[in-house]
Chain A
């Protein structure tokens, strides 16, 4: 039989190199690993042992990689015991990491990727942007958050104002990729509304020819993904979504992290860890 799947996931000890706290119990942790930095594709995740005191690992999407310095960054928000324990890890400590895991996003021949990330669903969008920064893609990214953004938003240099959305994430500016922010809160330079409302503003500004080149990529809370999938359907755009679910093994062994998807043979339970985490939105919603 084909053994291509074998040895694709590594178990590595990663030292904590940096660990920053942001408002809203958000953290960005930088970990050292040559393997994860070099082998991770956008949309893939790692399964981290956050503490010896907890029996289960925690799956977290990779936000960005630094191949030169062999490091990678994760963004997470403290929502329970696991992320609380992770937030207590100090620089110099070593964490066991399994990764990279999963089928990430597939970049297609649609040259105008629309990246929509919400909350801790922002990282895979950052990862996609980083991977296509020097390509012939013309992406547009929308990042949404209801707690202060975990970066210092700055005015986008192209000066475009999308109904109040004028600010961007600094990394996107460095990569020359257009990005805007959305929130129901009154954050400076952010669009006031849902990410999908801002997406409409962007899409409505495109010509028919440009619209035909759009593919939507998204990660975020389930209701947001549902709204994104609906929007994509309205505009007749292909849409890939990255899902999350409670996870035990993260290698396809336990079938603990399934999502119901529609297939040609009827409904099926697919494992978020290795069948996903990225799925065609039309099969999930």
Chain B
């Protein structure tokens, strides 16, 4: 691993700024099936979204291709908190990377209970998912209301001393306000963004392609949206030194660098793996080389270095 990629995130020492995203890599072992893929190439892995009780998830079809991206509606299929803690986590090789659990509750109290159970485990950090677009209750119902978001983060904060990362939804009016409330409630980090809600229709059957009718859009198509949301959240989070995992359509090292410039401390990779399972070392190489080329010692020297253009309104341009 390149030395200039080592970084700190919410108190965790990471060997790379790459974080593999929840829902894309199962419980951390799935991609190791691929020769040439290694968990040591990434700073951290967010494990599959976990609920208190087991969930079967949504009916098929759960994924479909869209222009420059895909829609998914998995529906938080998982074996439940206790099995994750007692049967899956002991099998993780913690020498290879850091592991972050992603949690979802159907009530505020349930979020608190799951956080408490993982507090007693040796997980490295907890990501609070208040932005899953694919389940009826919970998820985004909490994430679109800043006061509800506050209450979810607050109860998790009371129940754990582990680093807490809150995953924000792009499907809301003012993501920066929501970020502020999550910081007020004690989150240590923010993940920006979860998927955008979308739909795909089969014109032969006049039915939605996805069993759940709607799903979350990811992939290169959402990168510009994600980048702007990271920029907007960073305006708030930088005041409190709360770091961001920038995520949404990162396919290349250059994409990752854009997110870091916009304010992300680490970068999330998900959908890109589906096309190129060996993309992580390439992104590491690209970021490292960029730092060298620009005489920067580390990622820290690049985070949030965006220089905005002097703002000229459309009216001003039109009048000239």
Contact = CB atoms under 8 A, between A and B. Distances in A.
Given A1-B93, A246-B62, A251 B30 contact: yes
**Chain B contact residues, majority secondary structure:** loop
A5 B29 contact: yes
Contact of A253 (B26, B35, B36, B90): B26
A199 interface: no
A56 B33 contact: no
B72 to A, nearest CB: 6
B62 A256 contact: yes
A267 interface: yes
Contact of A257 (B62, B69, B276): B62
Given A9-B34, A255-B77, A245 B278 contact: no
**Chain A contact residues, majority secondary structure:** loop
Interface in A94-152: 96, 98
Interface stretch (B9-17, B53-61, B295-303): B53-61
Contacts of B56: 260, 267-269
A7 interface: yes
A172 to B, nearest CB: 33
Contacts of A255: 23, 26, 48, 57, 62, 74, 77
Contacts, number: 116
Contacts of B25: 253
Contacts of A269: 56-57, 77
Contacts of A3: 32
Contact of B63 (A248, A252, A274): A248
A57 interface: yes
A223 interface: no
A94 to B, nearest CB: 14
B277 interface: yes
Nearest to B34: A9
Interface in A1-21: 1, 3, 5-11
Q: Which 5 A-B pairs have the closest CB atoms?
A: A256-B63, A1-B91, A253-B30, A252-B30, A7-B35
Interface of A: 1, 3, 5-11, 49, 54-57, 81-82, 96, 98, 245-260, 267-269, 274
